[in-house]
A and B are shown apart, each in its own frame.
Chain A
Amino acid sequence: MIKVSHVSKSFSHGKNAVNDLSFEVQPGETLVLLGTSGCGKTTTLRMINRLLIPDTGDIFIGDKNINTETPETLRRSMGYVLQNTGLFPHYTVLENIAVVPQLLGWDKTRIHSRALAILEKLRLPPATYGDVYPQQLSGGQQQRVGLARALAADPPILLMDEPFGALDPLTRISVRKEFKLLDELNSKTIILVTHDVEEAFELGNRICIMNEGRIQQLGSATELLFNPANDFVRHFLDKQRLELELKSLRLRDIWPYLDSAGGSTGTALPPDTSCWDTLEHLTGNKAGSILDGQNKHLDGNILITAINAYKKTVSQYGHA
């Protein structure tokens, strides 16, 4: 769906902000760009909607080079959520949301009903929030309006630059949960920028770790965790490693390493349950799991032993 091919970009002063960047995003996939501040994430997004022009390299949507369309047409087909919301202060919430549909020439009633519907979906009751100005909203509400505005014209592609950046950690987690449940997003191809590791692992199908304008590694959560391409990736994830590992490993992944003695007692957890959730469950209850007709008993020790065995194998052979 989106293909970035050997793209580099430098600004007037100094070294490349983005250096020989290549990746592909599949239709319906969410790719997360993760990296430290200033590593070129925003720059990458802005090149995809032609707010910036790459020095070298090409970008394709479908199989069309983005240079073949006018930038306006291109941009109207992509939702763009900005790092600092960028809501129009002189427009009400509803008017902000109506911007792209208006640019696309929708008729008035269609715009209005769509705006109301999307507000409703983002849990901002139009009766209360429709006619207020962005300054009258909290940071979290503003970000939701920003998202609503990007989604208004139902674009197939969504570019999101730290959409939850302005929120405190608690709100952030709950907004993220809502976000994951939004049916609007199901079929969309999304590139999401963040420098929050946890957020990246929670929302991304695949994660692209960047540093100083270069891709360090692009892969699934488990690939990054258990098979890091280099020290940067390893160190980048170290802080939250245990939590991330537990969250991204499912019972299915460590099945071969689980002690099969004993048989199951207590609740039977589905094999797609993450180790994190399993542990959480085990703090008060007994549990087991069934995969392919095989019934296994679970407790803390068994789980940790299995995980360690899994990691050992992966680091030796490069895969499980």
Chain B
Amino acid sequence: MDTPETFIDFVRQQSGKLLEQTLTHTGLTFISVLIAVCIGVPAGILISRRKKLAGPVLGITGVLQTIPSIALLGFMIPLLGIGPKPAIVALFLYALLPVVRNTYTGILGVDPNITEAATGMGMNTRQLLLKVQLPLAMPVILAGIRTATVINVGVATLAAYIAAGGLGEFIFGGIALNNTNMMLAGAIPAALLAILFDWALSRLQRVNMRKARKIALVLPVILVLLSSFYLLPETYSSRLKAGFTPEFMGRKDGAVGLRNVYGLQLRTLVISDMIMYKAAYEKKLDVISGSSTDGRVKAFDLIVLKDDKHIFPPYYAAPVVRQAVLDKYPELAPALDQLSGTINDSIMTELNYRVDYLQQNPQQVARDFLVSAGLWQPARNGSKGNIRIGAKIFGDGYILANMYKMLIEGHTDLSATTKTGLGGTKIVFDALVNDQIDMYPEYTGTGLLVILQAPQTTVDSIIGDNRKVYDYVKKGFAEKYQVQWLQPIGFNNTYALMMRREQATRLHISSISDLATYVHHH
């Protein structure tokens, strides 16, 4: 197994990538700060002269600041697509308020006696601004730039969600893969960058009055220099563009396998699961790493490429329950196992489609299904105890958690509460072993590769056989964590490469091998 043992090893091994991400991160931060300075300082000057505009301008920039960062990035996608452009614009919008506000207060904070003296000496408005107001407001303006920079170092981690790169790739990859070293390799440099820039700008802020005038000249040069770290990705090429989630990027059964087994070399961007499908639909991406039962596959008319060399391990879903809970409530396992064998891939895709795309309530979708399968019963008294059901933030989890709640309440005297949206595998699994939840639906493949981190040789020997994988994780979980795998539900939510149906048909691509051949020749 080639997972590095220590943090240092990881950093050493990934140093190239780390450097690239750090530079990208710095560039992203400073390009946006630079633009914010170019627009924010003049805007601050303007509103310090036309005070009627001050309220609206500060109000609007203030409201922009309160939009949650991930939402702001989301808003940008329909307008600007994915990649650096929307990321820079979003970061710029965040940086705007501190820059505008501090320029405004800085200029208004200049002693009116001094501006009167300057005007009385015969300075015109421009001379007053350049010789008196800006130099005297400089420490306050710098404080604004400093705030903007620190905010942006933080927000720029989210740029990884929309394929703009930066240290967020490691951070979110690490969270998704339960790889602490990877997470830290992103988080620590990000924190260090924030501290470093904060310190450097605080030094600038404290230099004396004489130098304050020079800063006005030096600062833009520094900003431009740092911005240039972000070399904008090469212009349009005819090659296909792929977008993979941070999790997929780092997995042996993900991008690594594609490269090693299929020899697939794609121009790849890292992107959030949340916007990946839509980006493919909107032709911003051509190949994406989806999950085969996702509702959006149906919604956006994508097709799943056939994994003809079997690199994606089986991801059969089954409830995992703490042994202690099963022992305490023997009636629990039979109630849950009723779902086994009732949901295949296409049913699951359909259910997901109703929730994700038609925006139907997961509870309603779960209930409708149980009713049609004849499994639904009205809730009993629920007096015997409470089962806490967790679910990951994405995909099937919501619906399955709701089904289990209804099964438990309808078929036993237990009550159940759902705790959905527990982030990635690491978060929900930690919640389980730490007694925060009692059960959640998990996939066999994830158990094998992410949680048990089975040795490579073992993986290779069992990966082709669904049953063997199930047995392996069942045994491993029971021994290592005192957690039981119940019966698989029946569908296989495996990784899959997907393309737009129209494009795949046009290029005659139906399997990953076809894709590799196509890419090779173009």
Give A residues with C-beta under 8 Å from B. 46, 49, 51, 71-76, 80, 82-92, 99-100, 103, 133, 149
Contacts and interface: CB of A to CB of B under 8 A. Distances in A.
A232 to B, nearest CB: 30
Contact of B209 (A72, A76, A90): A90
B433 interface: no
Nearest to A49: B120
Contacts of B114: 86-89
Contacts of A74: 122
B109 to A, nearest CB: 12
A88 B118 contact: yes
Nearest to B123: A103
Contact of B117 (A76, A88, A103, A133): A88
Contacts of A100: 121-122
B432 interface: no
B60 to A, nearest CB: 29
Determine chain B's interface SS by DSSP, over half rule.
helix
Interface string B109-131: 00101101111111110010000
Contacts of A149: 121
A80 B124 contact: no
Contacts of B132: 88, 90
A82 B116 contact: yes
Given A88-B132, A90-B213, A133-B209, A51 B116 contact: yes
10 contacts: A51-B120, A74-B122, A75-B121, A88-B117, A88-B118, A90-B132, A99-B121, A100-B122, A103-B121, A103-B127
A90 B120 contact: no
Contact of A90 (B113, B119, B124, B212): B212
Nearest to B138: A90
B122 A103 contact: yes
Contacts of A103: 121-123, 127
Among B117, B118, B135: residue with most chain A CB under 10 A: B117
Nearest to B115: A86
Among A49, A89, A100: residue with most chain B CB under 10 A: A89
Contacts of B124: 72
B113 A84 contact: yes
B371 to A, nearest CB: 74
Given A90-B132, A133-B209, 12 more contacts: A51-B119, A71-B122, A72-B123, A73-B122, A74-B122, A86-B116, A87-B117, A89-B136, A90-B135, A90-B213, A99-B123, A103-B123
Interface residues of B, number: 20
Interface string B200-219: 00000000011011000000
Contacts of B116: 51, 82, 86
Contacts, number: 64
Contacts of B209: 89-91, 133
B135 A80 contact: no
Given A90-B213, A103-B127, A82 B122 contact: no
A144 B111 CA distance: 20
A46 B120 CA distance: 8
A90 B210 CA distance: 6
A100 B135 CA distance: 18
Nearest to B211: A90
B121 A80 contact: yes
Nearest to A100: B121
A89 B117 CA distance: 12
Contact of B121 (A76, A84, A85, A89): A76
Contacts of A85: 113, 117
Given A51-B116, A82-B113, A84-B113, A90 B123 contact: no
Among B117, B121, B127, B136: residue with most chain A CB under 10 A: B121
A74 B209 CA distance: 30
A76 B118 contact: no
Interface in B122-160: 122-124, 127, 132, 135-136
Contacts of A49: 120
Contact of B122 (A72, A83, A84, A91): A72
A51 B117 CA distance: 10
A92 B132 CA distance: 13
B212 A80 contact: no
Nearest to A104: B122
Contacts of B136: 89-90
A133 B136 CA distance: 14
Nearest to A150: B121
Nearest to A83: B113
Nearest to A90: B209
Contacts of A99: 118, 121, 123
A75 B120 contact: yes
Contacts of A83: 113
A51 to B, nearest CB: 6
Contacts of B119: 51, 75
A157 B331 CA distance: 103
B113 A86 contact: yes
B113 A75 contact: no
Task: Name the 10 nearest CB pairs between A and B, nearest first.
Answer: A86-B117, A76-B122, A75-B122, A90-B209, A80-B120, A86-B113, A72-B122, A90-B135, A84-B113, A72-B124
